[in-house]
């Protein structure tokens, strides 16, 4: 009995401790950043290196970088995941090499991606400090997450569908299109959201690639400052930028929260649709 | 030339006057099987998973329009045998098949053999009903579309015909767009049979189609199989000896010897059950072994 109570107590303590970290963090951000928040803050251009004004251009740059990252990484990842799960045998050497490299890639620190992106996209390909370089660098960084979640989603689709489809004389592509991809959609959405979450919070990989010009970008070839870089710059390099850094961080956390909620809603919706009908 | 034989009449409208009707009509016995014509001829079929043998030297003929029942204890290679007939064994990377299987006199392992077309002609029904997670209508429409029948009028007509054939039309006609997985087990299995029939196969392989169903659904499916006799060639694996006795024209008895499945005896169903030649068969059908 005593042991049970003790265990319950410990579990509750750890739950409270973990939630407390999050609550304290958000409360702190709200306390210091709430005052600056307004609609104008979201759309105005920053003034005086970010001490005043808003984050309009920064939101636009962040959005562009994210859109670029996902539109490059998602199709590549889906194709790789389909190859790994449907078209290569489990023990093939080639897929083994791919999996191993992805594992390594997943554990590479983001600053290394930043340096690589700078050397390859900015300098070698001559894209310079630009939203394009930043987006492509982030795409390389989220590839392992996307491929992993996509292939796990596909692998979780029942083998029976593959068998039943084959018994009806359907080829693999048809089975994939009609049954396996729809079944895997909740997992695909979850993976996508995970990747977006990782990309939106990324700083180190962007410092050397998309740069930190805080003007409104005219094109993808312009340098653009992402939200996380804005926070980093305000709190590290700009004296008196703390309150605006807190506001920007509050926005970032709200975005992450929204992405999370949206993804679980979408996944649920898809599951529900699958059970009730497609 | 011979390959024309296994090419199904894809577009009935291309051959006016030759349309093959789907509707089976009233229950009637199939053609007499006293003059059997071989449709599938299996010679020395051996099958192994990696280095584990599953089936050794099985030879038998499957006769057109008849129901052939395969009986025997679990793990004696009956399901492997069925999967080898339409090369579903290709899906298992470790599976090795040797020996000859001729369908209409053509070796199905011929490199020129179109596997998808072969499987269209030799359909398979699994033990567990496997409807796709889409609507009832789409379950039948999608395979049709993949095989080139995408005219909605034509496929709607086929959907109605095959669902009527399996006796499901009256039950589902008002909810064709409802999810197939919401149907009962027996209905799901009949939908799977309808889905296979829509492709106008010549042979239906059935792997214990009734064993996951309750007795009433099982009786409905069994009755359906009876009505398919004559129009389709059926190979059915069953653990239900009474069922095999009721429906089959021919029966094959499988047993495990030397840790691999083999065919002990094959013959007319009546003979296998009433005057088995082999003592193992006699023991199995009498219930004293197996």
Sheet order of strands, B95-103 included: B106-107, B95-103, B38-49, B52-63, B260-268, B250-257, B67-71, B233-237, B203-207, B122-125
**52-71 of B, contacting A, C-beta below 8 A:** none
Q: What is the pLDDT of residues A205-252, one digit of tens each?
A: 999 999 888 888 888 888 889 999 999 998 888 888 888 889 999 999
CB count within 10 Å of CB B179 equals 21
Residue A172 at interface with chain B, using a CB cutoff of 8 Å: no
Predicted pLDDT at B93: 82
Task: For A173, name the nearest residue in chain B, comparing CA atoms only.
Answer: B146
- Whether A190 and A263 have beta carbons less than 8 Å apart is answered as yes
Read off the tokens for A103. Answer: 């594992």
Query: In which band, very low, low, confident or very high, does the pLDDT at B5 lie, cut at 50, 70 and 90?
Result: very low
Q: Measured between alpha carbons, how far is B46 from B53 in angstroms, rounded to an integer?
A: 8
Read off the tokens for B87. Answer: 């090369």
Contacts 24+ apart (CB under 8 A), A28-31: A28/A246, A29/A246, A29/A249, A29/A250, A29/A253, A30/A250
CA distances from B261 to B69, B83, B254, B255, B266 (A): 16, 14, 7, 6, 14
Mean model confidence pLDDT for chain B: 83
Predicted pLDDT at B20: 43
Predicted pLDDT at A178: 87
Domain boundaries, chain B: 35-129+202-285
- Whether A275 and B181 have beta carbons less than 8 Å apart is answered as yes
- Whether A200 and A227 have beta carbons less than 8 Å apart is answered as yes
Please list the pLDDT of chain A residue by residue as tens digits (278 residues). 889 999 999 999 999 999 999 999 999 989 888 888 888 888 888 888 888 888 899 999 999 999 999 999 999 999 999 999 888 877 788 888 988 999 999 999 999 999 999 999 999 999 999 999 999 999 999 999 999 999 988 988 888 888 899 999 898 888 898 888 888 888 888 889 889 988 998 889 999 999 888 888 888 888 889 999 999 998 888 888 888 889 999 999 999 989 888 888 887 777 666 555 44
Interchain proximity A275–B179, CB inside 8 Å: yes
Alpha helix (H) residue ranges in B124-166: 136-146, 152-165
Predicted pLDDT at A268: 78
Predicted pLDDT at B149: 87
3-class secondary structure, A265: helix
pLDDT at B13 over 50: no
pLDDT at B104 over 50: yes
More confident residue, B97 or B12: B97
pLDDT at B188 over 50: yes
DSSP structural state of residue B178: S
* CA-closest candidate to residue A226, choices A29, A36, A63, A50: A63
Cβ contacts (< 8 Å) between B147 and chain A: which residues?
169
Question: What pairs with residue B266 in β-bridges?
Answer: B252
Q: What is the pLDDT of residues B221-251, one digit of tens each?
A: 898 898 888 889 999 999 888 899 889 989 9
Predicted pLDDT at A272: 66
Predicted pLDDT at A239: 85
What is the mean pLDDT of the segment spanning B1-19? 40
pTM of the model: 0.78
* CA-closest candidate to residue B279, choices B265, B269, B266: B265
Q: Measured between alpha carbons, how far is B209 from B235 in angstroms, rounded to an integer?
A: 11
Distance from CA of A271 to the nearest CA of B (A): 11
List the CATH code of the domain at A37-276: 1.10.3720.10
Question: A147 φ, ψ to 5°?
Answer: -65, -45
In which residue are the tokens 């994210």 written?
A66
- Whether B82 and B207 have beta carbons less than 8 Å apart is answered as yes
Question: Looking at domain B35-129+202-285, which of 3.40.50.720, 3.40.50.970, 3.40.50.1970, 3.40.50.300 is its CATH number?
Answer: 3.40.50.300
Read off the tokens for B221. Answer: 């499916």
CA angle, residues A39, A202, A246, in degrees to nearest 5? 40
Q: What is the pLDDT of residues B23-32, one digit of tens each?
A: 444 434 444 5
Domain boundaries, chain A: 37-276
Cβ contacts (< 8 Å) between A167 and chain B: which residues?
86, 88, 119, 123-124, 126, 196
Predicted pLDDT at A71: 96
- Whether A278 and A182 have beta carbons less than 8 Å apart is answered as yes
ipTM of the complex as predicted: 0.79
- Whether A68 and A117 have beta carbons less than 8 Å apart is answered as no
- Whether B260 and B233 have beta carbons less than 8 Å apart is answered as no
**167-186 of B, contacting A, C-beta below 8 A:** 177-179, 181
Interchain proximity B199–A278, CB inside 8 Å: no
Give the max Cα distance, chain B.
56
Question: B161 φ, ψ to 5°?
Answer: -65, -50
Query: In which band, very low, low, confident or very high, does the pLDDT at B35 lie, cut at 50, 70 and 90?
Result: low
**89-148 of B, contacting A, C-beta below 8 A:** 91, 93, 116-120, 123-124, 126, 128, 130, 132-135, 138, 142-143, 146-147
CA distances from A196 to A65, A151, A186 (A): 10, 18, 15
Q: Which of A158, A161, A162, A167 to mutate to test the interface with B (most CBs of B within 10 A)?
A: A167
Residue A179 at interface with chain B, using a CB cutoff of 8 Å: yes
- Whether B250 and B236 have beta carbons less than 8 Å apart is answered as no
Q: Measured between alpha carbons, how far is A99 from B233 in angstroms, rounded to an integer?
A: 46
**182-221 of A, contacting B, C-beta below 8 A:** 182-183
* CA-closest candidate to residue B131, choices B195, B214, B216, B212: B195
Cβ contacts (< 8 Å) between B134 and chain A: which residues?
178-179, 182, 277-278
Distance of alpha carbon B254 from the chain centroid: 18
Distance from CA of B151 to the nearest CA of A (A): 18
CB count within 10 Å of CB A209 equals 32
């Amino acid at each position: 009995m005593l042991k049970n109570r003790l265990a319950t107590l410990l579990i509750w303590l750890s739950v409270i401790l973990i939630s407390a970290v999050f609550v304290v963090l958000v409360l702190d951000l709200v306390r210091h950043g709430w005052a600056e928040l307004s609609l104008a803050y979201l759309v105005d251009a920053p003034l005086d290196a970010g001490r005043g004004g808003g984050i309009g251009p920064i939101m636009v740059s962040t959005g562009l970088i994210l859109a670029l990252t996902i539109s490059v990484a998602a199709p590549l990842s889906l194709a790789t995941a389909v190859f790994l799960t449907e078209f290569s045998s489990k023990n093939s050497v080639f897929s083994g090499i791919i999996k191993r490299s992805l594992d390594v890639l997943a554990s590479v620190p983001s600053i290394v991606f930043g340096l690589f992106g700078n050397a390859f996209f900015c300098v070698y390909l001559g894209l310079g400090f630009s939203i394009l370089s930043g987006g492509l660098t982030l795409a390389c960084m989220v590839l392992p997450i996307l491929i992993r979640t996509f292939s796990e989603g596909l692998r979780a689709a029942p083998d029976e569908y593959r068998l039943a489809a084959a018994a009806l004389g359907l080829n693999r592509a048809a089975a994939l299109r009609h049954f396996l991809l729809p079944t895997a959609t909740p997992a695909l959405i979850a993976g996508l959201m995970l990747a977006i979450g990782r990309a939106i919070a990324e700083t180190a990989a962007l410092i050397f690639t998309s740069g930190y010009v805080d003007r409104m970008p005219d094109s993808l070839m312009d340098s653009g400052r992402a939200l996380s870089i804005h926070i980093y710059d305000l709190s590290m390099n700009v004296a008196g930028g703390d309150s605006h850094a807190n506001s920007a961080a509050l926005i970032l956390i709200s975005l992450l929260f929204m992405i999370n909620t949206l993804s679980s809603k979408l996944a649920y919706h898809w599951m529900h649709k699958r059970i009730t009908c497609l | 030339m011979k390959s024309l034989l296994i090419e199904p009449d894809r577009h009935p409208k291309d051959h006016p006057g030759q349309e093959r009707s789907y509707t089976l009509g009233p229950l009637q016995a199939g053609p007499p099987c006293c003059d059997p014509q071989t449709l599938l001829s299996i010679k020395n079929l051996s099958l192994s998973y990696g280095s584990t043998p599953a089936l050794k030297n099985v030879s038998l003929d499957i006769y057109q329009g008849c129901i052939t029942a395969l009986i025997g204890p679990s793990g004696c290679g009956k399901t492997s045998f069925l999967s080898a007939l339409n090369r579903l064994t290709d899906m298992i990377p470790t599976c090795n098949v040797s020996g000859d299987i001729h369908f209409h006199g053509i070796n199905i392992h011929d490199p020129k053999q179109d596997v998808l077309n072969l499987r269209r002609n030799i359909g398979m029904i699994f033990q567990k009903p496997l409807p796709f997670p889409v609507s009832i209508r789409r379950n039948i429409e999608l395979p049709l579309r993949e095989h080139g029948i995408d005219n909605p009028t034509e496929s709607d007509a086929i959907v109605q015909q095959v669902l009527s054939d399996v006796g499901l039309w009256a039950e589902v006609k008002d909810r064709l767009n409802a999810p197939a997985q919401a149907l009962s087990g027996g209905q799901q299995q009949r939908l799977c049979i309808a889905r296979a029939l829509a492709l106008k196969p010549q042979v239906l392989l059935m792997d214990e189609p009734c064993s996951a169903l309750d007795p009433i659904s099982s009786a409905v499916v069994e009755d359906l199989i009876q009505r398919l006799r004559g129009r389709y060639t059926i190979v059915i694996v069953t653990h239900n000896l009474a069922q095999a006795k009721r429906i089959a024209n021919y029966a094959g008895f499988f047993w495990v010897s030397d840790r691999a499945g083999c065919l002990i005896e094959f013959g007319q169903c009546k003979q296998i059950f009433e005057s088995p030649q082999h003592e193992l068969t006699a023991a199995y059908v009498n219930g004293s072994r197996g």
